[in-house]
Copies of this chain bind each other. A is one copy, B any other.
Amino acid sequence: MTADPVMRTYEGVIDSIRHMLLTGEVSPGDRLPSERELADALGVSRPMVREALRTLEVLGVVAARRGQGPAAGTFILTEPSPALATLLDMEFTLERFDLADVIDTRVMLERWAILSMPADADLSAAAHALSMMSEPLTREELMEWDLSFHQAIVDCATNRLAAHLYRSLRGAMHQRLADSLASIDAEAWESFWRRVMREHRMIYAALDSGDRERAADLSEKHVTRHYLRRP
């Protein structure tokens, strides 16, 4: 304790804004007072307010738009942002954990989501993603629909935190995944795509028939194989 030598000004501003949120003075979707007003009201300079707002922006709490009128200003976001993915990507860059950690965690989340899925889960989003993969795809399209397919499955578990974590893990790996796919030459691409699609279909079929254990196992093998590149 007593580990706080000083309270930095911008932290005080963040606390003030957090307090506004907790008391309901502002709510998601609302516009914050302007930077100049905030600075004046809190008795600090505008640069300090801006430092606070920048951090809140990176954390996915607010977004700023300039100009004048109802669309301009700094707003409390209603939807999660890629902030978590940004953070995880940073940690990854700093080598605070490695690819195997990320994949293990991803597999854990997906297994759990499949096994705890409610009986009446709506699989239509997964089915749609599956159908979109039936025709030849570019690498970008495959990444997009592969993400949609797996995310749709995890979303069925109705745990928003877990779904958000899953999305962020995948987001943090996105660039590395793209690099990995780019290394597959044109000849091998079609067979690669077909195999991915076939595995997706098997996972979906297992889910659709209610065989969760099998779906979980198939999913684990699928993810582990393609991400760790051990065909």
Instruction: Give the interface of A toward B (CB within 8 A).
Output: 10, 18, 21-22, 28, 47, 50-51, 54-55, 57-61, 76-77, 79-80, 83-84, 86-88, 90-91, 93-98, 101-102, 104-105, 108-109, 112, 159-162, 164-165
A101 in contact with B21 given A54-B54, A54-B55, A61-B90 (CB within 8 Å): no
Check B94–A28 contact: CB distance below 8 A: yes
By CB atoms of chain B within 10 A, which of A54, A55, A83, A97 has the most? Answer: A54
From the candidates B18, B51, B55, B101, name the one contacting A162 in the complex (CB within 8 A).
B101
By CB atoms of chain B within 10 A, which of A18, A57, A95, A101 has the most? Answer: A101
Check A87–B83 contact: CB distance below 8 A: yes
**For chain A, what secondary structure do more than half of its interface residues adopt (helix, strand, loop), or is it mixed?**
helix
Task: Write out the residue numbers on chain B whose beta carbons fall within 8 Å of the beta carbon of A98.
Answer: 160
A108 in contact with B58 given A22-B93, A50-B51, A84-B87 (CB within 8 Å): no
Check A93–B54 contact: CB distance below 8 A: no
By CB atoms of chain B within 10 A, which of A91, A98, A102 has the most? Answer: A91
A118 to B: closest C-beta gap in Å: 13
Check B58–A58 contact: CB distance below 8 A: yes
Task: Write out the residue numbers on chain B whose beta carbons fall within 8 Å of the beta carbon of A55.
Answer: 54-55, 57-58
Task: Write out the residue numbers on chain B whose beta carbons fall within 8 Å of the beta carbon of A21.
Answer: 93-94
Task: Write out the residue numbers on chain B whose beta carbons fall within 8 Å of the beta carbon of A161.
Answer: 88, 91, 97, 101-102, 104-105
From the candidates B57, B84, B162, name the one contacting A105 in the complex (CB within 8 A).
B162
Q: Which residue of B lies closest to A65 (CB)?
A: B5
Q: Which residue of B lies closest to A111 (CB)?
A: B112
A179 to B: closest C-beta gap in Å: 13
